[in-house]
Amino acid sequence: MKKNRGINMKTILITGGAGFIGSHVVRRFVKKYPDYKIVNLDNLTYAGNLANLRDIEREPNYEFVKADITAGELMKVLFNEYRFEGVIHLAAESHVDRSISNPMEFIHTNILGTVNLLNAARLTWEDPEGKLFYHISTDEVYGSLGDTGFFYETTAYDPRSPYSASKASSDHLVRAYHHTYKLPVVISNCSNNYGPYQFPEKLIPLTIHNIKNNKLIPVYGKGENIRDWLFVEDHAAAIDLIFHDAAIGETYNIGGHNEWKNIDLIRLLCKIMDKKLNRPAGTSENLISFVKDRAGHDLRYAINSEKIQKKLGWKPSLRFEDGLEKTVDWYLANESWMANVTSGDYQKYYENQYTKR
């Protein structure tokens, strides 16, 4: 079993562990490190779904706690109770469109929630040796690129939406706590994730869902915005490496090296779906509907991941086309999951199973 800088990490807090990326990280850690106690803390908002973790929910080294990271005193209580040696902080409001319509929710959760966790760790970790606060962030904090160039770990921050501004603020606070209080931290900034269990307001699962149900596929502007896509299991593997092997105080960019215009990605999905659903070629493309562009829509994101590749030996495991086909297969094979998520019934069910702390 791996050890973190020579210290056996025993109790790990993963925030937002019922969400899309978080559930993959929780699953990986529960299965790969049976001697760790993994505590999954999630508030089960619209994007948190414990159905994502049914396959490991009865594992002896796994525990779920329903709680809100904006409750500062409760975070201190939990840190004192569990004596966490490590934190992997993924809990966040993350959808740009929602941040435009309700910025205060993003400020409250992403900034105040992160500070509450930092304070709880600082007050609990009297001896920081062997401890680690790992903050997961986004490439959107860097702003927007032109036709060329990449985001590096040294790129100046230039957030363009309430979401990215709230994440930039939380990144700065994590670094400030490291420099001011000597809190042991690392940060990673990732590109757009895709794969199983992603909430269907995001581009890829939304497109799959709409094609399956013969609904229009909304495309912002002309669909020329470019994103770098990262398979979620590759991201979880990178998080694993960073958590165990990264140097304290460092930042790592994680990208998939898969730049695609939104319209080209959607057309590729249409071709894959036509094949999977035995529809005539070109059928699904007729569902594409261009809509008014999103306010402040960044043109292009592209991450340079050389640092994590050279320092930690990580690299993406899948070609985008292979990962996308794997993703489509998963959604088509898990129609009940999608139906429950889009109906909201799953949230009502799980609200009755757990008492909020």
Model pLDDT, residue 38: 98
The question of whether 139 is a catalytic residue gets the answer yes
Model pLDDT, residue 4: 46
Active-site residue (options: 85, 139, 153, 171): 139
Active-site residue (options: 68, 140, 153, 259): 140
**Within a domain: 272:** no
Active-site residue (options: 134, 142, 163, 301): 163
**Within a domain: 244:** yes
**Which residue in 335, 216, 321, 218 sits closest to 272, CA to CA?**
321
**Within a domain: 333:** no
The question of whether 163 is a catalytic residue gets the answer yes
CATH number, domain containing residue 111: 3.40.50.720
pTM here is 0.91
Model pLDDT, residue 55: 95
Domain hosting residue 242, numbered range: 11-197+228-259+298-319
Model pLDDT, residue 353: 42
Model pLDDT, residue 357: 41
The pairs formed by 333-339 with CB atoms below 8 angstroms and a separation of 24 or more are: 334/196, 337/51, 337/197, 338/200, 338/205, 338/209
Count of structural domains, the chain: 1
**Within a domain: 73:** yes
Model pLDDT, residue 343: 64
**Within a domain: 138:** yes
**Within a domain: 351:** no
Model pLDDT, residue 26: 98
Residues of the chain with pLDDT below 50 are 1-8, 345-357
Model pLDDT, residue 339: 82
Model pLDDT, residue 190: 95
**Within a domain: 357:** no
Model pLDDT, residue 53: 97
Sheet holding 226-231, edge to edge: 192-194, 226-231, 259-261
**Within a domain: 264:** no
